[in-house]
């Protein structure tokens, strides 16, 4: 593999994500002959196999990162689910208490009206 190809593989360009920049890659095995300047010769099967191996390594790393992230997301979702359930239970309790208070308020208002009517009736009788 030519030195230019090795550089491109080992050092991704600036437009590549941080994931690839942060990962160290093994430089491809150097051929037994000394480094030659880049030529127009096609890639050999060995070059292609080396690239496949690198790509498979990247694929595995990416899959592991995704699995780890997915595990974290699932954990966060489970935590949020628990919080939502607690909030729903508290909301149901508050709603029930509010309903009970409204019923009690209506009963007290009815009693107050009845007592006011009785008071007025007693005042009218004393005249």
Task: Flag whether 100 is in a domain.
Answer: yes
Task: Flag whether 111 is in a domain.
Answer: yes
Per the structure, the complete domain to which residue 48 belongs is given by 3-32+42-126
Task: Flag whether 82 is in a domain.
Answer: yes
Burial label, 6 (beta-carbon count in 10 A; 0-12, 13-18, 19+): middle
Nearest alpha-carbon partner for 37 in 10, 1, 65, 11? 1
DSSP alpha helix (H) spans, the chain: 3-10, 18-22, 45-126
Task: Flag whether 113 is in a domain.
Answer: yes
Q: Which two tokens stand for residue 115?
A: 């007592």
39 in Cβ contact with 2 (< 8 Å):
yes
What pLDDT sits at residue 3? 44
What pLDDT sits at residue 90? 96
What pLDDT sits at residue 106? 98
Task: Flag whether 37 is in a domain.
Answer: no
Task: Flag whether 48 is in a domain.
Answer: yes
What pLDDT sits at residue 43? 82
Chunk the chain into consecutive blocks of 10 residues (it has 127) and report each block's average pLDDT, rounded to whole numbers.
45 50 50 56 88 96 96 96 97 96 98 97 89
What pLDDT sits at residue 36? 55
Overall number of domains in the chain: 1
Nearest alpha-carbon partner for 13 in 4, 34, 108? 4
What pLDDT sits at residue 50? 93
pTM metric for this prediction = 0.46
First to last CA, the chain: 119
Task: Flag whether 121 is in a domain.
Answer: yes
């Amino acid at each position: 593999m030519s030195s230019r190809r090795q550089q491109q593989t080992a050092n991704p360009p600036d437009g590549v994500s941080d994931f690839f920049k942060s990962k160290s890659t093994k430089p491809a095995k150097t051929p037994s002959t000394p480094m030659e300047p880049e030529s127009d010769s096609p890639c050999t099967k060995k070059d292609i196999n080396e690239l496949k191996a690198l790509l498979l390594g990247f694929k595995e790393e990416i899959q592991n990162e995704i699995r780890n992230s997915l595990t974290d997301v699932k954990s966060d979702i489970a935590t949020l689910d628990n919080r939502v359930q607690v909030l729903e239970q508290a909301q149901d309790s508050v709603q029930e208490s509010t309903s009970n208070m409204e019923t009690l308020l209506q009963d007290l208002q009815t009693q107050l009206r009845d007592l006011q009517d009785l008071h007025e009736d007693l005042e009218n009788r004393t005249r």
